[in-house]
């Protein structure tokens, strides 16, 4: 049973209105909490360097910003957008998937614009999950899979992501009675927070498992372009039969430094896309058309060399953090993709105690692994979205603090 934080406030008289049971089950949003800690320290005059939130520090490419300017001056773009996205946007997504992954998508029935891919999890849950249905959710994970399920009155079954399994879930270990009541399986590789990647063999197993058990697969793939050492992440939809059992979410946020713009997409199985679109049509009214035109420019007109340049910045940072942490005895992988380092806390520390130590001794903010679920305990996450000079400064401080 999850703690009912908010309703507790009501009971002790600090809050006037009782929240729904759904909201009561949701812990405070991870980054809101970190944000408050940083704010308090900043007010106290501490020079903090935050590796907390995964939010690219580099600017959106100029051609994308220009396109927003142009499109925003066209009065036709000032009216309500089509809730499912401009056809031109959906065509751009389809052509990007074809070029990048050799996946064919029908822009009309197999692509849906999202206001950032985060909202996709809730809308998928509202479309398919009934009270008492399970969602199979990796643990640790990006929290919206879990909270989206809870907000739809669904139940969460944790799939432990363990280091010894390369942070892939063991589908064969899910109890049969849970599988019977499960509706959705969430996956996300390259993975936030662990930086792990998945190969074709794993995805084939996923397709078979979903077919055998009538599951909807949701592959969340916002890091498909952030990769190093020549590695090229797959799309789940590259696997034969994937489109029969699932959808993929993707987003402009990470590859094009567009987190603030709020634009992403769901692609794949037309029946799932159509049900999500029905929910969205009743909740929001789509993405500002001018932003969709800018997104088209990002998808179709960003040279590969630009993505390569951004990746080489992250790769250098990854190597510097890896060397520094190793030199002070902290064990961490050297991820092939994503801008996250998933690191073991030193012995005799918990995730929270070590995050607090880095905060107090080095003025460095990291995320406690436990914030992503209980199987994240014993780890902390560092996001490589910190400008080079500040990152170097932080590495010096960590060395001093832990020497």
Ligand X SMILES: *Cc1c(COP(=O)(O)O)cnc(C)c1O
Residues in contact with ligand X by CB under 6 A are 54, 116-118, 142, 188, 192, 220, 222, 251, 253-254, 259, 264
Q: Which residue has the tokens 């994240």?
A: 376
Burial class (CB in 10 A: 0-12, 13-18, 19+), 303: exposed
Helix, strand or coil for residue 304?
A: helix
| Shortest Å, Cβ 264 to ligand X | 4
| Shortest Å, Cβ 198 to ligand X | 13
Q: Between residues 266 and 362, which has the closer beta carbon with respect to ligand X?
A: 266
| Shortest Å, Cβ 251 to ligand X | 3
Q: Between residues 118 and 146, which has the closer beta carbon with respect to ligand X?
A: 118
Q: Between residues 24 and 228, which has the closer beta carbon with respect to ligand X?
A: 228
| Shortest Å, Cβ 399 to ligand X | 28
Show Cβ contacts of residue 31 under 8 Å, excluding neighbours closer than 6 positions.
Answer: 52, 53
Q: What does the alpha-carbon distance between residue 39 and residue 37 come to, in Å, rounded to a whole number?
A: 5
Neighbours of 15 (CB within 10 A): 13
Show Cβ contacts of residue 211 under 8 Å, excluding neighbours closer than 6 positions.
Answer: 241, 244, 245
Q: Between residues 24 and 264, which has the closer beta carbon with respect to ligand X?
A: 264
Q: What does the alpha-carbon distance between residue 245 and residue 392 come to, in Å, rounded to a whole number?
A: 45
**Alpha-helical runs (H) found in 1-112:** 5-11, 21-24, 30-43, 62-72, 87-101
Q: What does the alpha-carbon distance between residue 32 and residue 400 come to, in Å, rounded to a whole number?
A: 29
Q: Between residues 71 and 287, which has the closer beta carbon with respect to ligand X?
A: 287
| Shortest Å, Cβ 14 to ligand X | 31
Q: Between residues 277 and 398, which has the closer beta carbon with respect to ligand X?
A: 277
Total residues belonging to the chain: 403
| Shortest Å, Cβ 141 to ligand X | 8
Strand-by-strand arrangement of the 367-368 sheet: 340-344, 379-383, 367-368
Q: Between residues 54 and 246, which has the closer beta carbon with respect to ligand X?
A: 54
| Shortest Å, Cβ 192 to ligand X | 4
Cβ-closest residue to ligand X?
Answer: 116
- Residue 116: φ, ψ to 5°: 80, 145
Q: Between residues 123 and 254, which has the closer beta carbon with respect to ligand X?
A: 254
Q: What does the alpha-carbon distance between residue 271 and residue 40 come to, in Å, rounded to a whole number?
A: 47
| Shortest Å, Cβ 145 to ligand X | 8
Host H or E run for residue 399: helix 388-402
Burial class (CB in 10 A: 0-12, 13-18, 19+), 351: buried
């Amino acid at each position: 049973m999850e703690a009912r934080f908010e309703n507790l406030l009501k009971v002790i008289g600090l809050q006037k209105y009782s929240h729904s049971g759904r909201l009561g089950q949701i812990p405070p949003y991870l980054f809101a909490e970190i944000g408050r800690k940083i704010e308090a320290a900043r007010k106290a005059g501490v020079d903090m360097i935050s590796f907390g939130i995964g939010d690219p520090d580099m600017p959106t490419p100029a051609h994308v910003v220009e396109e927003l300017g142009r499109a925003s001056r066209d009065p036709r773009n000032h009216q309500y957008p089509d809730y499912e996205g401009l056809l031109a946007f959906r065509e751009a997504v389809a052509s990007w998937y074809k070029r990048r992954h050799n996946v064919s998508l029908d822009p009309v029935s197999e692509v849906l614009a999202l206001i950032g891919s985060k909202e996709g999890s809730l809308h998928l849950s509202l479309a398919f999950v009934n009270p008492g249905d399970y969602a199979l959710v990796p643990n640790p994970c990006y929290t919206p899979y879990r909270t989206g399920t809870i907000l739809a009155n669904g139940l969460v079954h944790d799939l432990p992501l363990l280091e010894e399994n390369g942070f892939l879930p063991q589908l064969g270990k899910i109890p049969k009675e849970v599988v019977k009541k499960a509706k959705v399986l969430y996956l996300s590789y390259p993975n936030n927070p662990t930086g792990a990647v998945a190969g074709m063999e794993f995805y084939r197993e996923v397709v078979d498992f979903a077919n055998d058990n009538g599951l909807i697969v949701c592959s969340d793939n916002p890091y498909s372009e952030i990769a190093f050492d020549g590695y090229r992440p797959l799309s789940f939809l590259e696997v034969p039969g994937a489109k029969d059992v699932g959808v993929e979410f993707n987003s402009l946020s990470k590859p094009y430094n567009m987190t603030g713009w709020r634009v992403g997409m769901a692609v794949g199985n037309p029946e799932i896309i159509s049900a999500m679109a029905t929910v969205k049509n009743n909740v929001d009214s789509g993405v500002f058309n001018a932003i969709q035109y800018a997104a088209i420019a990002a998808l179709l007109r960003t040279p590969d060399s630009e993505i390569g340049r951004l990746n080489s910045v992250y790769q250098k940072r990854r190597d510097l953090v890896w060397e520094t942490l190793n030199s002070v005895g902290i064990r961490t992988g050297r991820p092939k993709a994503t801008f996250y380092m998933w690191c073991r806390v030193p012995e005799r520390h918990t995730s929270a105690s070590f995050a607090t130590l880095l905060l107090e001794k080095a003025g460095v903010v990291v995320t406690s692994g436990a914030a992503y679920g209980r199987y994240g305990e014993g780890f902390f996450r560092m996001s490589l979205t910190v400008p080079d000079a500040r990152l170097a400064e932080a590495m010096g401080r960590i060395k001093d603090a832990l020497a």
